[in-house]
Amino acid sequence: MAHESDHMVESAEQIVSESVPRRSKEDLDFIELATTLARRKNTIAKFTIVGTLLAVVISLMLQVKYTGTTVILPPQQSQSFSSMVLGQVGMLAGLGRELGLKSTIDLYIAMLRSESVQNGLIQQFNLRDAYHQKTMFATREELTARTTLVPIKAQGVIRLSVEDSDPKRAADLANGYIEQLHALNQRIAIGESSERRMFFENQLQRAKEGLTAAEQTMKQTQEKTGMLQLDAQSRAMIQTVATLRAQIVGKEVQLQGMRSFATGQNPDYVIAQQQLAGLREQLAKLLRSQNISEGDLEIPTSKLPETGLAYLRAYRNVRYQEAIYEIIARQYEAARLDEAKSAAFPQVIDPAMVPERKSSPKRARIVIFVFLLSFLSGCAFVLAQQAYGRFVADPFNRERIDTLKAHFRF
């Protein structure tokens, strides 16, 4: 009977044990962890309260800043400043690739970040005193830190933002970037075109003086010899050769002007050289067909009297100077038009307005972030303290720690 009774007790215990769910090691560790945190909740609360109070005090001490924002649309026309700089000028043909500039937006961002633009803003708004900096370098660093340039290539625009403690100055600085960009753009783009225009203007003045002198000589010759009527063939021959020679001179003048801004590998320069060679060959063929040497007149002169020869020379010189003047005048007008359209200015979609609300500091975000960080830090401190207590409770570990301390004693 006793044996049967013991068997029944064991069966009951087995049924009870099977009916109660087994607790895994992870469950026990989680419960132990939660118990430890609950037991040390005062320490965690102190961490959280102190950290949150510090966050509130620091956030209230932070300087309030405002952000002025403007949106810029770079020029999109094919003959814009960027294409002129990166395409036409031989020495700067690889500039975009070397600087990593892949589009007009990248080029204008680089210009906005240039020292020329920043120095102009520093002087315009006296930023060295406003930022309490002693050097221009430090002021530029501060201005760079306060400025944000965001290229929105999907829309083809640039968003420029400037942060400052003064809302009006923040807006003025954002708009000031546009003014300084215009000045830099005009100085670079107009500089080259102005040089070409001034070069052709000087050449045109010289051609005008030469034409005036030729006309004066022609008038004096007519007064001395009387009018000499040339036949139509002679007039056509003189006009053709004079025009070709004038075109050669005009092309040489054009090449001379291009040397100031293009290298020998520039495509336009190479084409101009080929055109000059073609004109010279055409003139040589014409002279050979008439059995005339380079220095002779364009018509046979053996049968002309001395007075007719003088008139012929004067007439030829006038036609030659007229052709030169017309060719250089066209180049001068082209340079003037190029100067007028060379500076492509970006368009301002949204000018910066005086901000009505502060952009920083975000006090609520700061307090919430530090609150969570302090709470997690308190939990980590409690758990680390418990782990250290368990570690030193082991006699073997305690002995190792004492040995380590002994080595650090002097």
Kindly report the number of other CB atoms within 10 A of residue 49's CB atom.
14
The two tokens of residue 282 are 């055409």
Interacting residues of 108 by C-beta distance below 8 A, sequence separation 6+: 72, 74, 82, 158, 181, 346
Do the Cβ atoms of 114 and 181 come closer than 8 Å? no
Task: Tell me what pLDDT residue 90 has.
Answer: 37
328 within 8 A of 52, measured Cβ to Cβ: no
237 found inside a domain: yes
Give CA 240 to chain center in angstroms. Answer: 50
CA angle, 201 as apex, 199 and 207 as ends, to 5°? 105
Instruction: Return the pLDDT at 137.
Output: 94
Distances (CA, A) of 271 to 126, 244, 264, 275, 277: 50, 18, 11, 6, 10
- Taking the CA atoms of 137, 140, 145 and 148 in sequence, report the sign of the dihedral they define: negative
DSSP for residue 300: -
pLDDT of residue 167: 92
- Our CA angle for 28, 33, 39, nearest 5°, is 125
Phi-psi domain of 126 (left: phi exceeds 0; alpha: psi -120 through 50; beta: other)? left
* In a shared domain, residues 72 and 159: yes
Does residue 303 lie within any of the structural domains? yes
**395 and 330 assigned to the same domain:** no
Q: Which of 297, 312, 344 is a domain's end point?
A: 344
Output the CA torsion 116→109→87→334 (10° steps).
Answer: -60
The answer to the question of residue 202 being in a domain is no
400: containing domain: 362-410
Q: Which of 249, 230, 209 has its CA nearest to residue 297?
A: 230
Is residue 113 domain-resident? yes
Q: What's the pTM?
A: 0.49
Q: What are the two backbone dihedrals, phi and then psi, of residue 20, each rounded to the nearest 5 degrees?
A: -90, 125
Residue with tokens 């430090």: 138
* Positive/negative CA dihedral, 310, 311, 317, 318: positive
Task: Report how far apart, in Å, the C-alpha atoms of 404 and of each of 86, 114, 295, 400, 407 are.
Answer: 68, 58, 107, 6, 5
Q: Would 390 be classed as within a structural domain?
A: yes
Determine the pLDDT at residue 113: 92
Per DSSP, which regions of 351-394 are E strands?
none
The rounded distance, in Å, linking the Cα atoms of 15 and 55 is 58
Please state, in angstroms and rounded to a whole number, the distance separating the CA atoms of residues 314 and 211: 11
Residue type, 89: V
23 located within any domain: no
- Cis omega before residue 361 (within 30°)? yes
Same domain, 240 and 178: no
- The pLDDT of residue 98: 44
114-to-96, 182, 217, 377 alpha-carbon distances in Å: 15, 13, 57, 44
* Residues 6+ positions from 241 with CB-CB distance below 8 Å: 283, 286, 287, 298
Do 77 and 113 fall into the same domain?
yes
The answer to whether residue 42 is domain-embedded is: no
Last residue within a domain, chosen from 311, 344, 377:
344
Is there a single domain that holds both residue 404 and residue 310?
no
Can you read off the two tokens belonging to residue 278? 């073609």
Domain count, the chain: 3
Q: Does one domain contain both 374 and 329?
A: no
Written as tens digits, the pLDDT of the chain (410 aa) is 444 544 544 554 454 444 444 545 555 477 878 888 888 889 899 999 999 999 899 888 888 889 999 999 887 644 444 444 444 333 333 444 444 445 678 888 988 999 999 999 999 999 999 999 999 999 999 999 999 999 988 888 999 999 999 999 999 999 999 999 888 877 776 566 677 777 778 888 888 888 788 778 877 776 666 555 555 655 666 667 767 777 787 777 777 777 766 666 777 777 878 877 887 787 777 666 655 544 444 444 444 445 556 666 777 777 777 777 888 788 788 777 776 666 567 788 889 899 988 887 888 898 999 999 999 999 999 888 888 888 878 888 788 877 877 777 76
Residue 72's DSSP bridge partners are 158, 348
Say if CB 112 and CB 160 are below 8 A apart.
yes
| 156 and 248 share one domain | no
**Residue 298 contacts residue 316 (beta carbons within 8 Å):** yes
DSSP 348: E
**Residues 184, 231 within the same domain:** no
Regarding whether 185 and 225 lie in a shared domain, the answer is no
Confirm if 373 and 54 have CB atoms less than 8 A apart: no
In a domain, 3, yes or no: no
